[in-house]
Structure 1
Amino acid sequence: MLTIFKYLKVYSDKKNVNILTSILVCHGVKHIVVCPGSRNVPLVHNFNECLQFHCHSVTDERSAGFFALGISMALNMPVAVCVTSGTALLNVLPAVAEALYQHRELIVISADRPQAWIDQLDGQTIPQYFALEKFVSKSVNLPEVNDEQSRWHCNRLVNEAIIALKKNGGMPVHINVPINEPLFNFTTESLSKERIIHCTVPQNNVKEKDIKAFLKSRCPLIVIGKTEYDKKISDLVHEIKKKHVVLCEPLAYDGEATWFDKMYDTVSNDKAYTPDYVLYMGDTLVSKSLKQYLRELDKCETCMVSCDAEVHDVTMHANRILVCGAAEILSTILTYDHRNLNNDFHSRWTNETEKHRMQILSQPSNNLLKETVRVFEKELGKNKDNINVHYANSLSVRYGCMYSNHYIYVNRGVNGIEGSLSTAAGFSSVSGKKTFVFIGDLSFFYDSNALWNKKLNGNLRIILLNNGCGGIFGKLKGLEETPALNKYISASHETSAKGLCESYGVEYHSASTLYEVTNAISDIMHKETDTPILLEVCSIN
């Protein structure tokens, strides 16, 4: 057989594992996050032997899934996570769900017991094959190879799974690998060259006829939800904003964003702000007020740009779906002259947006956690090109949307609080830049196993916004009426991160006044160190 790997490497004797290993390399997979176990030893052994793979060890499977997601987010490439059999697989489900809605190419590889032992009261045996079915584009169950037909079948299934990664703009897949005992025979001297199946999806450029209604409109409104970071999109948005009204948050592009919540009353009560056409692209929005405003625009035509050809009717009024990417449609808009534009409409929106943006940036808040974000973003200034900033969900990302004038990373697919720290940790592990993450206390402590990782280094900087509870619940109208709010709903506590930092070798700082916050942020933003740094900002009443 023709070998493709370094001579003298010794691989597992499990043929389905070897076929999978070879195809992953040939499809260009570079990073694999591995979790401990015995059933997955043949897989982990092979991945470690291949010089083409960079293996990352993470013990907690839930954290491992998000760690892999963070790497994919940083590098924009497929990343695998490998777990052992049993409930280990179920623990990666939150990260898989997030990857689905972020259009991330996450490959979940699970070792499994032989099919004959499923539901036979044997240890760590659950039905794994379809465990992630609702959240992946494809699940495959590799056969144990014993003849040419089963070999062909195994090769085909792996290729099908890798091809399915590209479906609908990027999706997770699940490869389940039943492995018989004995598990620890490493006797194969080389891996064979496997058949690779490539899939090409031709894409036609968006033409003038595709945006004819948009070009005829006098008061079009362009809304951009979360997009993957793309300098091209940022450049296009900057250019389009000169003539068109564009509403977007820092999850969409690298520039001055719109925090719509303060504008809602003005624009919703004045017909001069009402568009005659809405063009929506990208994924989710953070601002509930903006979503509410769009849902009130029931008299204008609405076109949803979708990269996966699915109907995502955020506005509740979509009457057209245009299948393409955000960069493609924005480029097309710039190509054609939009002669009928109402300049008063554009200037009115621009002035109102700028007025509220300046008010937000210039007015200090008596909320220390909110001020922490404002001080950080101001200090970031010209350093923003050398620093990546992540925000966890809930209040953290809302503060980020208010004060950021650069692209921010956030798990805004499912919007859950779990995995934000692990995602930032994974991102930092492959990024040459400092990676800051703003995170609330419940989200931080829930995902604290992200720090249980020897590969974390000094470019990870954590700013923990600790107000001793789930602070966002205090913002929800009506919840103040229930006596269960503090103890059960917002989960009030008096926990500090200091002990965790000591356990995991993380440099710890704390601040409880704006003066301390300002000094600490300046210090950790510019400090060079080999270990992660955490700043805990305490605002516990």
Structure 2
Amino acid sequence: MEQFYTDERNVQILIALLKEHGIKKVVASPGSTNVTFVGSIQQDSFFEIYSSVDERSAAYIACGLAAESGESVALSCTGATASRNYYPALTEAFYRKLPILAITSTQDESKIGHMIPQIIDRTVQPLDTVKCSVHLQTVKDAADAWDCNVKANKAILELTHGGNGPVHVNLTTTYSRNFMVKELKRERKIERVMTYGKFPDIPKGKIAVYIGSHVRMSKSLAESIDLFCETHNAIVAVDPTANYTGRYRVPYMLVAQQSIEDENRNPDLLIHIGEMSDMAGIVGQPKSVWRVNEDGKIVDRFQTLRYVFEMPEHLFFEHYSKSLLSRQNTYYNSCMEKCNYFWNNIPELPFSHIWVAFRLHNLLPMGSVLHLGILSPLRSWGYFPIPSHIEVYCNQGGFGIDGNMSSLLGASLVHPEKLYFGVVGDLSFFYDMNVLGNRHVGENVRILLINNALAAEFHLFKQTNLTKVNEIERFLSAGGHFGCKSLDVVKHLVEDWGYEYLTASTKEDFEKVYERFITPDLTEKPMIFEVFTDVNDENEALRRMYFIESSTRYKVKNAVKNIIGEDRMEIIKKIIKR
């Protein structure tokens, strides 16, 4: 009977990526747990396989092969104590910086610790035996397949990253005896590009630079990004905390959440810089992603990562902007046309956090710093184009509600002459309220507190899994704590601690006092502006932002499509293009 590749998808993924990365030398030891791997590669003429019964000897053979050939060499062994015999040679490889890929086959990790024969725990490796260790689990769905692809790429790339060295892959098997898969699926190869390496060509199509949370951006970096956009007809899609002040900034969140067809999303190439962000959805699903970061890590937020450029950001943009093509940036113009349309058609909003952000986003004094809490503050202010002269930050790294005001205080100590504004919800405020009594709080601190007496996030219509839960405020949204929208609790607390206190419960109240909160001059005291809102108004405001009245163009297009059908609509488009 003919034999081809195993039907175990995790094994297929690993084999396909070994071929993509050019790793062909394998030293195999006998056993039942690695049958699907060895049985698959032995019928593939790409691989150059050597046999060794003793795993300790096999690993040293791999050391000799790697040192002499200058190539990465793979090892394969079964379960039980076989893998333990790799340690002496892997230690040798670690200190000699030899690229050895130790593939240890195993049964499912859930069996560890249950007295099942030949099951040992490989979850932790001695520090000086391998540079990294990954586990490729059995693939049950697309998410598992993506995970195995990323981990296998990561392991293979680490063999030669920052100096060569050994790497460990723990490969689960189900002992399948089906070897009838004639062709391997093409697996996505992720590559790392260094400053001294060969840079890939920029593909044709829509190109977007996505900036997540970013530290203060230098003028030279912003200029290099601008030049890149001019050269490649690209845009810069930004998180509110991107701190990019260049000409091609596109705050696309409001447009992105509308239920319209949008040709500006889903770019052909996304250049990903910056760190953690809650707003990656503004660019949709890019076809290919190039991540640029000095850490060189395999971070696959969009699940289409192709290259990681381990280098300073400005070097990347300068490299791809050497030959300037003078042309109009049509992509940017198209994006901003949509942004302006929706900003100009924001409906009447109830008194809510979004309404407050709408009123204040472009009124903060020149050169101020804005610290946003997670979720509602980040989202509410992210709908609007905050002026580029305002630096914006948020604790998106760990993405918790704790510490927002403390981070604000820490930042405010650096420049006591500059105004620092913070925006937090009531639970976040009371979680971190001890910092308000810190003796270092200066007159340059101003905090906007949106108080609706619970975690309003869990009551929003977009939380489809929670809106039908009974009595959600009892525990899930933590209602009823901290005075339950008392008009006196925060007022007495902060005034006793030396703050100026402002408050509003309606739009009329707000209009009377907000100008004091944003006065550009330093005042004698720090400020707390407590705004009381209702959770139902918060929900309604968000609903209206999600479903802004579409233009006649969109309404007619959707009406026609509903009448004649999508297939006929496509035929009409092709005829018109002729």
Task: Give the TM-score normalised by structure 2.
Answer: 0.51
Tell whether the 8 Å contact from 1:206 to 1:332 is kept in structure 2 after alignment. no
Which amino acid in 2 is paired with 1:285? Answer: S
Tell whether the 8 Å contact from 1:245 to 1:346 is kept in structure 2 after alignment. yes
Spell out the pairing of 1:243-322 with structure 2 (5 A cutoff). Answer: 243-255=233-245, 257-264=250-257, 269=261, 274-287=266-279, 289-290=281-282, 293-294=284-285, 297=286, 300-322=287-309
Q: Is 2:464 the counterpart of 1:477?
A: yes
CA deviation profile, 1:83-117 (whole Å, cap 9, x unmatched):
xxxxxxxxxxxxxxxxxxxxxxxxxxxxxxxxxxx
Match of 1:399 in 2: 380
Deviates more, 1:368-377 or 1:435-444: 368-377
Q: 1:378 & 1:230 partners in 2: Cα distance?
A: 21
Match of 2:201 in 1: 213
Spell out the pairing of 1:83-102 with structure 2 (5 A cutoff). Answer: none
CA distance 1:276–1:289, change in 2 (3 Å): closer
Spell out the pairing of 1:100-499 with structure 2 (5 A cutoff). Answer: 206=195, 209-210=198-199, 212-214=200-202, 216-232=203-219, 233-238=221-226, 240-242=228-230, 243-255=233-245, 257-264=250-257, 269=261, 274-287=266-279, 289-290=281-282, 293-294=284-285, 297=286, 300-337=287-324, 345-360=331-346, 363-380=347-364, 383-385=365-367, 387-403=368-384, 404-406=386-388, 407-431=391-415, 432-475=417-460, 476-493=463-480, 494-495=484-485, 496-499=489-492
Q: Which has the higher helix share?
A: 1
Q: How far apart are 1:225 and its partner, in Å?
A: 1.2
Please state whether the residue corresponding to 1:365 is helix, strand or coil: coil
Q: 2:306 & 2:420 partners in 1: Cα distance?
A: 41
CA distance 1:313–1:328, change in 2 (3 Å): same
Identity value in percent: 20
Which amino acid in 2 is paired with 1:318? Answer: L
CA distance 1:396–1:273, change in 2 (3 Å): closer
Tell whether the 8 Å contact from 2:273 to 2:292 is kept in structure 1 after alignment. yes
Q: 1:491 & 1:325 partners in 2: Cα distance?
A: 44
Task: Give the TM-score normalised by structure 1.
Answer: 0.55
Q: 1:359 & 1:285 partners in 2: Cα distance?
A: 27
Tell whether the 8 Å contact from 1:273 to 1:349 is kept in structure 2 after alignment. no
Please state whether the residue corresponding to 2:208 is helix, strand or coil: strand
Which amino acid in 2 is paired with 1:409? Answer: Y
Larger RCO, structures 1/2 (Cα 8 Å, 6+ apart): 1
Q: 2:444 & 2:427 partners in 1: Cα distance?
A: 23
Q: 1:506 & 1:388 partners in 2: Cα distance?
A: 19
CA distance 1:238–1:359, change in 2 (3 Å): farther
Tell whether the 8 Å contact from 2:502 to 2:529 is kept in structure 1 after alignment. yes
Q: CA RMSD in A?
A: 2.9
CA deviation profile, 1:451-502 (whole Å, cap 9, x unmatched):
1211211100111011111111122223111114112111123144123203
Which amino acid in 2 is paired with 1:320? Answer: Y
CA deviation profile, 1:266-298 (whole Å, cap 9, x unmatched):
67x45675432222111122226337x22xx4x
Q: 2:238 & 2:381 partners in 1: Cα distance?
A: 13
Q: Is 2:522 the counterpart of 1:535?
A: no
Q: How far apart are 1:428 and its partner, in Å?
A: 1.1
Please state whether the residue corresponding to 1:408 is helix, strand or coil: strand
Which amino acid in 1 is paired with 2:201? Answer: A
CA deviation profile, 1:482-524 (whole Å, cap 9, x unmatched):
1141121111231441232033222211111223223322112
Match of 1:63 in 2: none
Q: How far apart are 1:245 and its partner, in Å?
A: 2.2
Tell whether the 8 Å contact from 1:282 to 1:326 is kept in structure 2 after alignment. no
| Larger radius of gyration between Structure 1 and Structure 2 | 2
Match of 1:500 in 2: 493
Tell whether the 8 Å contact from 1:229 to 1:253 is kept in structure 2 after alignment. yes
Which amino acid in 1 is paired with 2:375? Answer: S
Tell whether the 8 Å contact from 1:301 to 1:318 is kept in structure 2 after alignment. yes
Q: How many residues align?
A: 325
Q: 1:274 & 1:447 partners in 2: Cα distance?
A: 39
Tell whether the 8 Å contact from 1:224 to 1:281 is kept in structure 2 after alignment. yes
Match of 2:504 in 1: 511
Match of 1:57 in 2: none
Match of 1:62 in 2: none
Please state whether the residue corresponding to 1:529 is helix, strand or coil: coil
Q: 2:383 & 2:307 partners in 1: Cα distance?
A: 31
Q: How far apart are 1:301 and its partner, in Å?
A: 2.8
User: What residue ranges of structure 1 are gaps of 5+ in the alignment?
Assistant: 1-167, 169-203
Q: 2:312 & 2:214 partners in 1: Cα distance?
A: 10
Q: How far apart are 1:327 and its partner, in Å?
A: 3.4
Which amino acid in 2 is paired with 1:226? Answer: S
Tell whether the 8 Å contact from 2:256 to 2:282 is kept in structure 1 after alignment. no
Q: 1:272 & 1:464 partners in 2: Cα distance?
A: 36
CA distance 1:271–1:355, change in 2 (3 Å): closer
Please state whether the residue corresponding to 1:275 is helix, strand or coil: coil
Tell whether the 8 Å contact from 1:308 to 1:323 is kept in structure 2 after alignment. yes
CA distance 1:367–1:240, change in 2 (3 Å): farther
CA deviation profile, 1:253-277 (whole Å, cap 9, x unmatched):
244541325325567x456754322
Q: 1:514 & 1:458 partners in 2: Cα distance?
A: 27
Tell whether the 8 Å contact from 1:459 to 1:532 is kept in structure 2 after alignment. yes
